[in-house]
Amino acid sequence: MNSHQKKNTHDTWILRRYLLAIMAFLGILNAYAMEMNIFILLKEMVLAPKQANSSCNCPGAYYPLLENMVKKETYEWNRPFREFVFLSFCLGHIISHIPSGVLANKFGAKYVLGLGILLMAICSLTVPTIIKKEYWWWFCILYVCMGIGKGTTIPALNTLLAKWIPFQERSKVASFIYSGSILGTMIGTVLCGTFINTVKDWTITFYFLGILSILWFIFWVFLCHSDPRFDPFISEMEMKFLVQEMPHILRTVRKIPWRKILTTSSVWTIIATQAAYEWIFFIAITNVPMFMKDVLKFKFTSNEVYFLVPYTAAWIASLIHGCLCDWLIKNDFMSVTFVRKAFVTLAFSGSAIFLMASSYSGCNRFYSMIYFTVAMTLMVSYDCNIKVNILDLSPNFTGTLTAIIQCIGTISGTAAAYLIGILTKDHALTQWRIVFWITFGLLFVANILYGIYGSTEEQQWNKIQLIKSRKCRQCDMENNKYY
């Protein structure tokens, strides 16, 4: 008897799609926490940077994020070496997107996502040993592998959204899952800034997050499935609801229309938009702690509350944005296209304006924190729209389409990291202001492009070359009763 004949006849204690969303949220949280560990390691486990005396610098001393440990364990990593290590991670991240998307579409996203995060976990457990033994080439190879693991996350997650989450719930569920990136970044930094200083061992965060991610993988394998058709614990009521709302889940894709995808204007519009978002995500989310520490001279030891404010506000705002989007669409207050464009405008224009305001607030920590917080709460309205916009265009090729968009977008984030390293070498406020002006221009252009060419219409190539899956043909009689 196959899994289709073992469906539960009673409701479970939690809908299976919501359990999947919770587990996916925890998975992406772990992935971003491990990535943030990498970033902080490259920035902090080196000799303290020399800052030029200038009227452009805010008053105050330089405070290492790992204050207790940086005095004991520092490495003479010159700038080219640190850039090479970072680019190793980015290389793995970029090259893994498209294979991950294709595999998620063809074989299911469960193991693509799970094995990707498991790979990151194994690498995280290995990092301390490699560094202490100073195996620098293995260190770079290890970071390529971590990048490969991280690159599987977004294509796999979007594929799961297309299979499990009905249209009227997509914005709020997507915003919840992807808000894990915000909490993961925050947790990764807090662990390095507080927990490590308390335990007096910088390696503990790598071990802690590595073990936590392995535990997550075990639960993920046993609790979650790529496709609701093959989940033996899903209730008949929930399965019937999903099939009625998303009939495409009863079909599988035979051939990917690469040429049609790459010649669709709305796809390239999302690519341009994603490139701008990856840029500001790296600027605002990943570098906010460094800006606050290096430029504004915040001391992250006993008063992490200053750092937690923008991240906590952004996480709460992302959940609100997602619920609001679904509510506006469900009640026909706005068209789907108008909602997507309105919230992208809010994300790009709003965050660009307030990021600029933060750079012109001078060394006033209070106002700068307020502006950063507002910018980040507006920026997170992006995830519940553009990530879902990909599903609007093509629910059948979501993994592949997401992979293409993320692959090109990640190149933009890598360029942002390189630019920050060049323009902010003295950690001066005026240097960061240049970065924010460049960001403002990119967001302005991307916002106009999406406003003109953005679309939520299902593409014609999404409807072609579909066949019944082999497993599904064995249970046609079972599926028919869901209609």
Q: Which fold has domain 15-50+77-226+256-464?
A: Growth Hormone; Chain: A; (1.20.1250)
- Cα angle at 446 between 422 and 25, to 5 degrees? 85
pLDDT of residue 401: 92
Residue 406 and residue 54: Cα distance in Å, rounded?
40
Helix pair 79-107, 136-151: axis angle to 10 deg: 40
- Cα separation, 19 vs 219, whole angstroms: 11
| 210 closest CA partner among 37, 23, 22, 24 | 37
Using CA of residue 70, residue 72, residue 75, residue 78, what is the dihedral sign?
positive
Q: pLDDT tens track of the chain, all 483 residues?
A: 344 444 554 455 688 999 999 999 999 999 999 988 877 777 666 544 555 455 456 655 444 444 444 444 555 666 667 777 778 888 899 999 999 999 998 888 999 999 999 999 999 999 888 888 877 788 889 989 999 999 999 999 999 999 999 988 889 999 999 999 999 988 888 877 666 677 777 788 889 999 999 999 999 999 999 989 888 989 889 888 888 887 766 566 568 889 999 999 999 999 999 999 988 888 777 677 677 777 777 665 544 566 788 889 999 999 999 999 999 998 888 899 999 999 999 999 999 999 888 888 877 778 888 898 999 999 999 888 888 899 889 888 888 999 999 998 888 888 887 788 788 777 778 888 888 899 899 999 999 999 999 998 988 888 765 444 444 444 444 444 444
Task: Give the Cα-Cα-Cα angle 40, 44, 46 (nearest 5 degrees).
Answer: 135
Alpha-carbon gap, residue 438 to 462, rounded angstroms? 36
Cα–Cα distance between 173 and 326 in angstroms, integer?
10
Comparing CA positions, the residue from 430, 309, 290 lying closest to residue 363 is 430
Tell me the two tokens of residue 288: 């906010």
Task: Say which residue the tokens 């309205």 belong to.
Answer: 381
Give me the residue label for tokens 């509350």: 305
The two three-digit tokens of residue 224, written as one number: 């979650």
How far lies 110's CA from each of 68, 118, 119, 153, 315, in Å?
A: 41, 12, 14, 10, 25
Q: Largest alpha-carbon pair distance within the chain?
A: 77
- pLDDT given for residue 159 in this prediction: 92
d(C-alpha 136, C-alpha 54), whole Å: 36
